[in-house]
Amino acid sequence: MGELTTLASGCLSKMAIEPGAGGEPAHYAFRAGDQRVDLNACLGRPVRLTWSGAIACTHCGRATKKSFAQGYCYPCFKKLAQCDTCIIKPETCHFFAGTCREPAWAERHCFQPHVVYLANSSGLKVGITRGTQVPTRWLDQGAIQALPILEVATRQQSGFVEMLFKEEVADRTNWRAMLKGEVEPLDLVAERDRLLARLDSGLAALRERFGDEAIRVLEAAPVALDYPVLEFPRKIVSHNFDKRPVVEGTLMGLKGQYLILDSGVINLRKFTGYEVTLEAA
């Protein structure tokens, strides 16, 4: 690969992504420890990522042989509210049963407005996120379009609404299709109107349970998102630090939390807490 220069070294955090201004592609920053690297500037250049073999918990900093829930040691994974199963399945929230792992954390993160949205990352999907995480959540998923459709009062309520929508639409992204760049644009406003009409009785039941103001229809405009990609891969080959600690190739693109190299793709978020060195030509 020729001579490479070290750009950053430290424990990985997920890439920071900012939406592009004026129709420009999103802007990516590689984060290792307290270091940040402009990845858009590395497009078309040979890069190498090397895992040292060390992993540190992103919460307590403890060394761990294995990462749990994308960046935690096992004790933190078992005790933190943000690692509980109700984060993945909000409808199973057990706060009012008195068994929440961290009630103060839940009050800050779960008892605030959440947005239910439609996105097009590998086709139509429904998702939920805190209002403060728009549009970050969509960029992390590699969505090319997104549309907020409902605002709800709590995370648990967003889970009940999402369950309702999952009867009609997927809630997951096909990451391989997303990375191939073959996703066709959709009329998200028409999809929203269709789904709201079909699910009207279910939403009415939830409003009767939680109150009319708890679930509010949003009159938002669709958002288009673009990514810095020179060339999409024809075949998806996935790199994994656990199997091979050195990943290298020419950086061809950035989408979602993936680096697209001419040698394969790697989901950096999956390796949060891994001590990695980034080099580039």
DSSP letters of 108-161? HHTSS-EEEEEEESSSEEEEEEEGGGTTHHHHHTT-SEEEEEEEESSHHHHHHH
pLDDT average, residue stretch 140-144: 98
- How confident is the model at residue 23, as a pLDDT? 83
* Pairwise CA distance, residues 254 & 40, whole Å: 8
pLDDT at 85 over 80: yes
pLDDT digits (tens, 9 = 90+) for 23-43: 899 999 999 999 999 999 999
Q: For residue 54, give the 3-state DSSP assignment.
A: strand
> What's the chain's average pLDDT?
97
> What does the alpha-carbon distance between residue 96 and residue 26 come to, in Å, rounded to a whole number?
40
pLDDT at 191: 98
**pLDDT of 1 over the 80 cut:** no
The mean pLDDT value for 215-237 works out to 96
The Cα-based distances of 182 to 120, 136, 139, 147, 247 in angstroms read 11, 22, 17, 20, 25
Return phi, psi of residue 195, to 5°: -70, -40
* Per-domain boundaries in the chain: 5-71+227-280, 112-224
pLDDT for position 144 = 97
Q: State the pLDDT at residue 252.
A: 98
pLDDT 10s digits, 251-267: 999 999 999 999 999 99
- pLDDT score of 46: 98
- pLDDT per residue over 62-78, tens digit each? 999 999 999 999 999 99
Q: Beta-carbon neighbour count of residue 28 at 10 Å?
A: 26
Q: Measured between alpha carbons, how far is 177 from 170 in angstroms, rounded to an integer?
A: 14
- Percent with pLDDT over 90 in the chain: 98
The predicted structure's pLDDT at residue 190: 98
* Helix, coil or strand: residue 221: coil
Reading the block at residue 242, the tokens are 């656990």
- pTM for the full predicted model: 0.95
